[in-house]
Amino acid sequence: MRAVLQRVARASVTVDQQVVSSIQKGVCVLVGVGTDDTDKDVDYIINKILNLRVFDDEQGTMWKKGVKELGLEVLCVSQFTLQGQTIKGNKPDFHRAMKTDQAKAMYEKFLTKMGQAYDPAKIKDGVFGAMMVVDIANDGPVTLQLDSRKFTYNDL
């Protein structure tokens, strides 16, 4: 499972010119589900999203607090293109992205488990499989790549 986490001042998702989700200060996370992802991958990514220290503490010391510790919001957006490979040629290869029905079930499991690990009212998401406009006001900017299988994807 791959994710891109961005610390945001605010973020929103629009589908068909309607805002379907929005958050204020927190993190926006783009999530890509791979063909061989399991519950272990889901748990790893959730732990990182909720606990990664990307915020200042009350004294202004950088990199001291995570989104869960501060009680901030999380906007999750499914994005199969994170599983794309661009090694050969100029057309992305999405063979490592999980098929739609399975990916939707895994993504829903991801959201459910995140709600169990945190406050479900603070977790928002886009519309799985829809064409979305994601508006992100990146704070910092802070952008981090997360990969539950960092060392197993390198099979060139």
Q: Write out pLDDT tens, residues 32-55.
A: 999 999 999 999 999 999 999 999
Q: Is the pLDDT of residue 152 over 60?
A: no
Residue holding tokens 């958050």?
23
| Residue 155 reports pLDDT greater than 50 | no
Question: Can you give the pLDDT at residue 154?
Answer: 47
Work out the pLDDT band at 72, boundaries 50, 70, 90: very high
Q: What's the length of the chain?
A: 156
Instruction: Summarize the confidence of residues 17-32 as an average pLDDT.
Output: 98
Percentage of the chain lying above the pLDDT 90 cut: 95
Both tokens of residue 84? 């794309």
Which residues sit opposite 76 in a β-bridge?
29, 125
CA distance 66 to 55: 6
φ/ψ (deg, to 5) at 134: -105, 115
**Percent of the chain surpassing pLDDT 70:** 96
What is the rounded average pLDDT for all residues in the chain?
A: 95
Q: What is the pLDDT of residue 44?
A: 96
pLDDT score of 6: 98
Q: Please, what are the domains in the chain?
A: 2-147 (3.50.80.10)
**What mean pLDDT do residues 73-98 have?**
95
